[in-house]
Structure 1
Amino acid sequence: MADALEMFFDDRADEAVRALWRRLEESGVSSLPTRTHRRHRPHVSLAVAGTIPSRTRAALRGDLALLSIPALWLYTLGTFPTEQNGLFLGAVVDTELIAVHSAVHDTLASKVKHPSAYYLPGAWVPHCSLAQDIPAEQLVTGFAALHPVEPIRAEVVEIGVTDTRTGEVDVLLSRQDFGKKC
């Protein structure tokens, strides 16, 4: 599988996303893929690669600590046009979010194996997954169960590398570390 660099939300936003997951489940749509099981937390991924080595994680920790990490507005209910149907809440893209994303990929450049093209600058669609790998009829049911969605303001409280095989998170930074000069 892969390592994913993810931004995790404050309690209020986390619970709001979990409430959407419950609404999906109540409508008969599986909100979580089986591979992420119970450790899955609401998040927005900045990057995904085959591996993010420990030296690269240390560099990310230092670089991210220098940045101002913006709050996210999760606002758009959407789906990707692929054979692996899914629902997501898209994050509003602003210059601050793009700056963080660009800085991450500057640090990762040539230091990770097998980066996912979906998360590279110019292709990245910042989003919080609500359901993945669902049949087309569940996509329609899920969309109807969630629409309209109230915007969720998500403060980023942690940034970490998640091992997508196990769900284990290596926390690189917590809220108190954001914007500190090293």
Structure 2
Amino acid sequence: MYGLIAIFDETTEQLIKTIWKELYERSISAYAYEVEDRIPHITLASYNNLNISDFIEQINEIYENQPAIDIKFNSIGSFLNSGALFYSPTMTKDLFEFHANHHKKFEQFNDDPNSLYIPDHWIPHCTIANRLSLEKLTEAFHYCTKRISTIQGKIVGVALIDVSDKSKAPIIYSKELIK
């Protein structure tokens, strides 16, 4: 199984990693450390099977002239009955089109019509904690709402990750966007 993720500028990535570390140090969540190579991201698409060389070739072609996208996280959310906590970006026209264009141009690779990442199902988010008890979810929510007010950054690249092994998520290939 594979995912295509949007990756952030260094400042945004480091801020989220710091929050992950603080949640871990407070014994609230070990989310960041459950998977080797985990980086802050927004998942754009998922695939069960993939012709990797064809997919990478298309990434290079499609994202060659794609400018970086401004992103602003100013809300926190949770999926029902998941124990997940995430920062939710403001859905701008640029973010919406970035996601929609990906799915339009990579349609031949879509092998899961029920994916949570396809248009009309996608809830863009950057996970902060996952699989928490109600008590820990409440604790994480309170901590994160007081920890920062808004995160402003950029999506500066896309990366193809392999999530076949639940203990690691290595980047197979990444492509920088135009800064």
Q: Would the TM-score normalized by the shorter structure come out above 0.5?
A: yes
**2:90 counterpart (92, 98, 106):** 92
Output the CA distance in 2 between the equivalents of 1:17 and 1:155.
Answer: 13
Percent identity (aligned): 18
C-alpha displacement of 1:143: 0.6
Match of 1:109 in 2: 107
Decide whether the 8 Å contact of 1:60 with 1:107 is kept in 2: no
Q: Which runs of 5+ in 2 are unaligned?
A: none
After superposition, the C-alpha distances for 1:53-111 in whole angstroms (9 at most, x for unaligned) are 22133213311223333121122111111x32100000111111111101110122232
Match of 2:70 in 1: 71
- 2:13 maps to 1:14: yes
Decide whether the 8 Å contact of 2:13 with 2:40 is kept in 1: yes
Match of 1:23 in 2: 22
- 2:38 maps to 1:36: no
Letter in 1 for 2:151: I
C-alpha displacement of 1:163: 0.7
After superposition, the C-alpha distances for 1:99-132 in whole angstroms (9 at most, x for unaligned) are 1101110122232333552111112111111011
Give the paired residue count.
Answer: 174
Letter in 2 for 1:28: S
Spell out structure 1 runs of 4+ moving beyond 3 A.
none
Letter in 1 for 2:100: S
C-alpha displacement of 1:33: 6.3
Q: Which runs of 5+ in 1 are unaligned?
A: none
Normalised TM-score (structure 1)? 0.85
Output the CA distance in 1 between the equivalents of 2:68 and 2:10.
Answer: 17
Match of 1:133 in 2: 131
RMSD of aligned Cα (Å): 2.0
